[in-house]
Amino acid sequence: QRLLRFAAHLQQLDMESNGKRVTRQSRLVEYRTGPVVWGEPGTNGQHAFFQLLHQGTEIVPADFLAAAEPREEMGDHHAKLLANCFAQSEALAFGKTEAEVREELTQAGLSGEALEKLLLHKVFPGNRPTNTLLYRRLDPHMLGMLIALYEHKVFVQGAIWDINSFDQWGVELGKALATRLLPVVRDGASAEDLDSSTRGLVERCRAMRRGPPSSEPD
C-alpha cells in the first residue's frame, strides 16, 4: 500500500519518455516503442485487470514488487500478500493445461457436455512473462533504488529504439488546442471553425448549461 502511487509515477516516466514514433534521425519507427503502464497495490489488481493478464489475447509483461518484511506488525496479513504475489507469478508462468483442468473437473463430478462447456474457460495458457523484484523492506533508500532502476530501464530502451526519451512533443498539441478552445467554452466565442465532433461537444455543453437546474441533491 505504501507504493500506491508508484505505478502512476512509472506511467509518467515511461509513457511520456518513450511514447515516441519518430527516431533521432527523424524517421518513423518500424517497431513498437513505449508500452502502456499501469498497476495497483496488493490484491487490488487481482479483481481488476489480472483476468486480462492471465487469459487475454494480448501477452502483457508484468512486474511484481514485494517486500520480504513489513514495516510494522501486520499479523499474518503480510504473509498472505506475499503468498498471493508468488502465486500470481507462478500462475502467469505455468498456467493450467487442458489435461489438468479436465482431471480437476472430473474429480469434481462433471462429465460429458457440462465438462466440455466449461473446460476451455478454466485453461490458463501460461508463458506470460513477469519479473518479481523482492527486497527486504521498503524504506527511502530502497524506494530510491526502485526509481533509479526504472529510470535506467527507460533510458536504455530509448537508446535501443533510437528515440529521444527526453522530449515530450506529444503533450504540446493538446495544450495548444485547449488554449484555442478556452474562449469558446468559457466566453461563448464562435464554434463555427471547429471540426464537427468538437463543435458538437461544445454545442451540447452549451445546451446543458441553458437547461433546467440539475435535479441532483446538494
Which residues does the annotation mark as catalytic? 16, 47, 175
Question: Alpha-carbon distance 186 to 179, whole Å?
Answer: 11
Best CA proximity match to 93, nearest among 54, 37, 52? 54
Q: Which residues contact 161 (CB under 8 A, 6 or more apart)?
A: 18, 20, 23, 29, 31, 33
Best CA proximity match to 10, nearest among 68, 82, 71, 62? 62
Question: Alpha-carbon distance 216 to 203, whole Å?
Answer: 22
Q: What are phi and psi of 138, to 5 degrees?
A: -85, 120
Cβ atoms of 126 and 92 closer than 8 Å: yes
Burial class (CB in 10 A: 0-12, 13-18, 19+), 86: middle
